[in-house]
Amino acid sequence: MASPQLTWIFGSSRSGSTWLLRMLRRHPDIVGVDETGLGHHLGLWRPIALAWQTPQPPPLTTFMAVKEVREDYFFNQRYADTWRPALAELFRTRLGAQLDDVHPDWRDPSTRVLIKEPGGSQMAAELLALEPGARLIFLLRDGRDVVDSWLDAYSDGSWAALDGAYAVTPGGRLAFIRWQAAVWKYRTEAVAAAYKTHDPQRRAMIRYEELLADPLVVVAGLLAMLGLDSDPTLVEEIVSAEAVDHVPAGQKGSGKEIRRAKPGGWREHLSADEVTVLDADIGATLREYGY
């Protein structure tokens, strides 16, 4: 079947990827897909989050990484030459069926298919390999704000409850913070590694903080990377239509998926001890990226 002109948005959850997808999919030549979940399925975490209730949890990794040399494991690297092409064909067939429903002209060479997949970013390299020539958008955000945002999502009555989130108790905060910090670090490093080896003409790295400060410039740059019309009038219409200021007050704020759009909020919500723990766990990575 035909291959899509595919672009992945990778990074970390709670980094503005939904906002970015909403803006870009307003372009007439972009069709957007919001989280296939494939990265989640391939990238199951090991150990589970409960390990972060112990003083010294083991290093975070994925089920695939743990099992890849086991003879009977389905995705054993010894048999990768057989399962990778089959997985790619399954991916194209399933994606194509959906695109036929929502955007029948997706096979047109001028159309770009954009998949937001931050929750599967730990498998960025495997997902990029599904479609040779795919583009990559690496969306980075301060890990402390990511953790702070997840703390808000795991509160009573939050938007994330429908996806299985629960209310974190005061006694469980520190373990939850360390778990989410480990996830942010792992995903950031995985996407960075994939980005480093990707075709420079088919990749872009942006920061949430830059996107928030000047969305017109960032969106225009991404459209140029995608080989699409980035006329200033069109870009202004796209950005304006999804401006946070236009979201009704009752649909944003604490407990809502659209929360605050304000970098540095972690300073207001994390205790001094929690900040110290975060720095010990992810401080080196934060400083590596200038945070």
| pLDDT tens-digit map of 187-246 | 999 999 999 999 999 999 999 999 999 999 999 999 999 999 999 999 999 999 998 777
CATH topology of domain 6-288: Rossmann fold (3.40.50)
pTM, to two decimals: 0.94
Q: What is the pLDDT of residues 269-278, one digit of tens each?
A: 999 999 999 9
Q: How confident is the model at residue 253 (pLDDT cuts 50, 70, 90)?
A: low
pLDDT of 83 > 90? The answer is: yes
The pLDDT value recorded for residue 25 is 96
pLDDT of 174 > 90? The answer is: yes
d(CA 187, CA 172): 23
